[in-house]
Chains A and B, each alone.
Chain A
Amino acid sequence: LGHDIHFHDKKIALLEAGPGKEYDHMPDTYSNRVSSVSPGSATLLSSFGAWDHVCSLRLKPFRRMQVWDACSEAMIVFEKDDLDDMGYIVENDVIMSALTKQLNAVADRVEVFYRSRAVGYTWPLPSHSCDTSPWVQIELSDGRRLQTKLLIGADGHNSVVRKEAEIKNIEHRYDQSAVVATLHLSEATDNNVAWQRFLPTGPIALLPLSDTASSLVWSTSHEHASELLAMDEESFVDSINSAFWSNVNHSDFIDTAGAMFRSAISLLKPSGTAVRQLPPSVAKVDPESRAMFPLGMGHATQYVQHRVALIGDAAHRVHPLAGQGVNLGFGDIACLAHHLSAAAFNGRDLGSLKHLLKFETERQRHNVSLIAATDMLKRLYSTRLAPLVLLRTWGLQATNALPPVKVRI
């Protein structure tokens, strides 16, 4: 918003609990928190000059995504025909640094309050007939007071803004935690493929960072996650390799059924079965790079209220299995910025519900189906029960053979 031309004479304040983070060059080790940035999100970031900074720091484009089941041979491969990048694996620190740089560039319009926390909110009444201020009042922990026409809550899935605004949140805690780590591969490779295998305990994913390094995101039960963190590095590496390579979950029944289906497809659609590539094997893990965090799903019943808007995880939280969480947030931003920019150019009061509702409708329509689908996939793949395995095996094989469906995904 600070870079938007129609916001030229507006004032924006950003409250950030952490310290400022800006890097000129990245440290040698990779950070263990990474995001898969879609091309659409990259476009958003480049629209205000942040993507250039990301590129100059570091990122890894990937061209292909192979997703397969641990209980069968079923597999689906995503790649773009024109060999374009499907997405980019970027460390979260890199994104933060790029954003910080661009924030500094508009410091005259955007004031960032680092290490600040809001301790109280006063909400205005929608009707304007009273003598009290019609704006939102915010009290900071250091005693300062701010007032604003529009408060945007971007404070994560435990959003205080959302709670204080009394917006109900539908939430569900998965009994899974995600384990992240930075891994080193056995041998250098092009490493432009993202790998994900659905184990009954949860999906394990390998996201490329460089020719020799990849980032691990392994969603599994809380107990298993704690074990993984506690075990020594060699055992940890063995667990990962075995998770990707072992066929212990296969059953003859499923394998046969799957093979039959595959032959059927290749009769109908010869090009419908893709070549299975083998994921790289892992040699070692970066010490101190192992961490875990609990997973859940959430969706706010309203994204907006008079003078309030929620974006990103404050509005919706998904399982990382689709790698979409951050991209949904970027989508929210692009949409809200568009509506606010138009409102500013029409001289409208920025906190007015009219254009905020347009943002909410647009994003809810888009987000709800994706959140529901992600949740459903998570449940579908959390089982070894034969009928469901068969269902998803055939479903995956069929989807792999159908270009129109794949393109939509």
Chain B
Amino acid sequence: TMKRLFSASHSSVDSKEMKKFQLLAHKWWDEEGEYSALHSMNDIRVPFIRDTLLNMSSNYHLGNPLSGVKILDVGCGGGLLSEPLGRLGASVTGIDPLEDNIRTADQHKSFDPVLAKRIQYKSSSLEEIVEECMETFDVIVASEVVEHVADLEMFIKCCSQVLKPEGSLFITTINKTQLSYVLGIVVAEKITGIVPEGTHEWEKFVPPEELERLLESNGFSVKTVNGMLYNPLSGSWSWMESTSINYAMHAVKSGAQGQSSPADAPSELESEQPLATAGTTM
């Protein structure tokens, strides 16, 4: 069972984090501005999500590849990722605890009649929507979010609750390594200013091994782990073997029956949950 906290401070939302983003709430859509790295991240994370989902399904139309797919964009910010997913045909619900972000996102999508219908934004934390949205979504996207949450395990448990069985969870975040400290904080924030200063705290970075462990022990099966690299000169992202700085992860919530799996190690879980094999690196 899971305890729901009804206090004003939401369990997975960190109020200090919220203050940081408050200041930049209106800067989301300036493609050359503070959030330019997130804009260009779309060039790899959108195809990653799109192609993974297309590979898993057998009937789709290339002109509308994500049609019929219900996606939850957690920590959607100004809607940078929600909009391309909406353009590809998905029905997107974007949530963010910061009202100003939601306002910016709503305003931006309002000019496009197609997007205005396909995307719904709500100012809310993940926990707050769990009750009404049990097993509602086909896909959850939590991109550049888990390094800002207060309680990661709670966050993952909530994801599992609102996700349909066999639904997909996509996470992109930053690893906790010396390299990520040097590049992700010192260089990115203090020296080059690619990321607004103070955005990240190295302590809250999540190593992929730990993320995998949490996912696997909460009913997910990790399918893919890929390292990502940002080139500040070209302003573009690319995939890389090593996950030592940024990485993306795709996990699938186990179905009601669970999947058969090699059972060399004793199962710690009571029901037929699939066992983890080490995450595959592409």
Contacts and interface: CB of A to CB of B under 8 A. Distances in A.
B30 A9 contact: no
Interface in A106-149: 127-129, 131, 133-135
B63 A128 contact: no
Interface string B24-35: 001001110000
A345 B83 CA distance: 13
A348 B47 CA distance: 11
Contact of A9 (B43, B47, B64): B64
Contact of B63 (A6, A349, A352): A6
Contact of B108 (A128, A345, A352): A128
Contact of B88 (A133, A134, A347): A347
A346 B46 contact: yes
A7 B84 contact: no
B63 A348 contact: no
B62 interface: yes
Given A128-B29, A135-B111, A352-B31, A347 B87 contact: yes
A347 B31 contact: no
Given A6-B62, A9-B89, A346-B43, A129 B29 contact: yes
Contacts of A5: 62-63
A352 B31 CA distance: 9
B46 to A, nearest CB: 5
B211 interface: no
Contacts, number: 53
B136 interface: no
Interface string A1-42: 000011111000000000000000000000000000000000
B64 A8 contact: yes
Nearest to A149: B112
Contacts of B4: none
B87 A127 contact: no
Interface residues of A, number: 21
Given A346-B42, A347-B83, A347-B85, A128 B30 contact: yes
Q: Contact size class for B? A: 20 to 34
B63 A9 contact: yes
Nearest to A347: B84
Contacts of B65: 345
Interface string A324-341: 000000000000000000
Given A128-B29, A128-B30, A8 B84 contact: no
Nearest to B107: A131
B51 to A, nearest CB: 10
Given A6-B62, A9-B63, A348-B42, A127 B84 contact: no
Contacts of B208: none
Contacts of A354: 31
Nearest to B82: A347
Nearest to A350: B87
B86 interface: yes
B61 interface: yes
Contacts of B86: 347
Contacts of A344: 87
A220 to B, nearest CB: 50
Interface string B12-41: 000000000000001001110000000000
B159 to A, nearest CB: 23
A319 to B, nearest CB: 38
Contacts of B84: 346-348
A346 B88 CA distance: 8
Nearest to B29: A128
Contacts of A129: 26, 29-30
A106 to B, nearest CB: 12
Interface in B112-143: 114
Leading 5 A-B pairs by shortest Cβ distance = A8-B63, A347-B84, A128-B29, A347-B87, A347-B88
27 contacts: A5-B62, A5-B63, A6-B62, A7-B63, A8-B61, A8-B64, A9-B89, A128-B30, A131-B107, A134-B111, A135-B111, A344-B87, A345-B88, A346-B42, A346-B46, A346-B47, A346-B50, A347-B46, A347-B50, A347-B83, A347-B84, A347-B86, A348-B42, A348-B84, A348-B87, A349-B83, A354-B31
Interface of A: 5-9, 127-129, 131, 133-135, 344-349, 352-354
Interface of B: 26, 29-31, 42-43, 46-47, 50, 61-65, 83-89, 107-108, 111, 114
